[in-house]
Chain A
């Protein structure tokens, strides 16, 4: 019988009476006369379709009610921060973009902002590069919110929301692919600018996508906003007031759903966000429904910003997208070909056939990298999930001495317990979905 030889529950006695361990299809091995009540501890996950990757929820349940909920994380830990200590500052982008894979541009943004502040070149980054970054960040905000709404809908059985969400997200990822060469994990932002300028048809592509999204975003509102099933599943679920958010450090849509208009794009603007016209979305119901409405409205605001970016980028065609300092600017000119991002044939011909100095310069910067003066900085940007911060420490070398990311999913996930204790099991799913954690970012 499994009650005695379980390595994780060695004792069968506790203060509350006997403990039985069952793993499935062996419930009849328990003698019901010994079991008092039906207080059960259940592992939801790590392999559970509703846990957004590999999140393990340890639920103590009394019937259908959750009396105690604990999140177990770490299943997707890949040592990204440690790995970055063994690569150059530029290569670091390739690693950190893989953390929160639903919003890769936010990871890159926090990191390059930190490197640029360490180098003290923040005001030398060309305006066009900053506008391109904002364009990508806002498109990414829409695609990330679409994934959140899509998966959240799927988990409560609204499969149409899921198919719509992924359909529209793919349009944005197509834009990303055309511009950066990759759908995800772009490594497109680089210290000092962006890896390459927009392709010739880039602006038109984004313009077309925005037009399609303007037609399609109302579908989500029409499908969900007043849908009685949707509302009954979401309203009042995962309730967390402002004071709870601040104590537990929750930011992003969860915080804004409490009515507090804290958005780093507005409160601590970076890269010229203060010159864009947009509204910070808030809601007055701090529950899963409120968060859904915040995300829905934020997509419209992001579309507004994207359109302003498009106008500015059309005016700044041909302007530089990388700092003028040749000791920092990545020498290699990349181009997007039919098979993705690659070296530009022109640049290869130049360094291999025309200029020995260019070859030496390229080789030194690519293999050795640039040096960053010693010191430490913390930069924060508003990711779709909240504040993503990057604490970067340099010892004056060509590699980061330490990089730590304050990932919003990691912090927000701490709200799981308070949001789901006392509710039904089915509400745990909704509460976790309303936090919108991405486990790649949580575990790094």
Chain B
């Protein structure tokens, strides 16, 4: 894993400022091994502590057409000289992710769609990921855009805090985001300001809670089979 590159002993909430491009994106801490805790561990593996680190920010040049897109995106949005809307850029596994400030999300989306050098005509997908370990940036909204003209795909990511789960809706730019944003609200409790009708979409209208959040249990009951009992899936031993 990436132990040697991470700050030893860093834990969530402990001075983690991942918006800084120089910092590693620590999203949690993994402890022990083999999924056992509290038993008489004689192996020593139970004492393992490893930070969970997402791929770090990349610096230009990013390679290929990534630089062209990044350049046009930085120049086109926000005030000149401030780096525009981009918090950081991550190039990983041949895909590029632009972390965008939420205030400038709509402007960024419109620029990505309309700029003749970018032309991201299609919003393929919008969803969210809950990183409870990343304090202050727990909820990430992930937007996948496709440029059919240039046959390119990029990812735009916006982070918001659990305490203030608001970001502007991009339905005005990409009408297809309508249902996607409703799903993100339904599943994560993220509020898209300016959405034409932000209601639950998959869960019943009166459902309490937002099921895809990490603090929402999976649920389930133990199942008895031939005298043995198999616990519910979220109660079983986990190795990760």
Binding site for B on A (CB under 8 A): 73-74, 77, 79, 81-83, 85-87, 117-118, 120, 246-251, 262, 267-268, 367-369, 371, 374-378, 380, 387, 389, 391, 393, 395-399, 401-402, 404, 406, 410-411, 413-414, 443-444
Chain A contacts for B136, CB-based, 8 A:
none
Number of chain B residues close to chain A: CB under 8 A:
48
> When the two chains form their complex, are residues A74 and B123 in contact, meaning their CB atoms are under 8 A apart?
no
> When the two chains form their complex, are residues A378 and B95 in contact, meaning their CB atoms are under 8 A apart?
yes
Choice from B148, B211, B236 contacting A82 with Cβ under 8 Å: B211
B124 at the interface (CB under 8 A from A): yes
A sample of 29 cross-chain residue pairs with beta-carbon separation below 8 angstroms, ordered by A number, consists of: A74-B204, A86-B233, A86-B234, A117-B93, A117-B94, A246-B121, A247-B174, A247-B175, A248-B175, A249-B122, A250-B176, A251-B122, A262-B148, A268-B151, A375-B55, A375-B92, A376-B95, A377-B93, A378-B95, A378-B124, A389-B124, A393-B129, A396-B52, A396-B240, A398-B238, A406-B125, A411-B180, A413-B179, A414-B179
Q: Which residues of B175-200 are within 8 A (CB) of A?
A: 175-176, 178-180, 200
> When the two chains form their complex, are residues B151 and A74 in contact, meaning their CB atoms are under 8 A apart?
no
Q: Which residues of B77-128 are within 8 A (CB) of A?
A: 92-95, 97, 121-125, 127
Choice from A85, A267, A377 contacting B95 with Cβ under 8 Å: A377
> When the two chains form their complex, are residues A82 and B218 in contact, meaning their CB atoms are under 8 A apart?
yes
- State in angstroms the CA–CA spacing of A83 and B217 once bound together: 10
> When the two chains form their complex, are residues B202 and A443 in contact, meaning their CB atoms are under 8 A apart?
yes
Choice from B151, B212, B239 contacting A267 with Cβ under 8 Å: B151
Known: A82-B212, A393-B129, A411-B176. A378 touches B155 (CB 8 A): yes
> When the two chains form their complex, are residues B125 and A378 in contact, meaning their CB atoms are under 8 A apart?
yes
Q: What 15 new A-B contacts, CB under 8 Å, besides A367-B239, A396-B240? A: A74-B202, A83-B233, A86-B234, A118-B93, A247-B174, A249-B124, A267-B151, A374-B2, A374-B53, A377-B93, A391-B127, A396-B1, A397-B240, A402-B212, A411-B180
Chain B contacts for A250, CB-based, 8 A:
176
> When the two chains form their complex, are residues B240 and A399 in contact, meaning their CB atoms are under 8 A apart?
yes
> When the two chains form their complex, are residues A404 and B125 in contact, meaning their CB atoms are under 8 A apart?
yes
Known: A397-B30, A401-B129. A247 touches B176 (CB 8 A): yes
With both chains docked as a complex, state the minimum distance between the C-beta of B132 and any C-beta of chain A, in angstroms.
11
Max count, chain A CB within 10 A of own CB: residue among B124, B142, B211: B124
Chain A contacts for B52, CB-based, 8 A:
374, 395-396
- State in angstroms the CA–CA spacing of A87 and B54 once bound together: 21
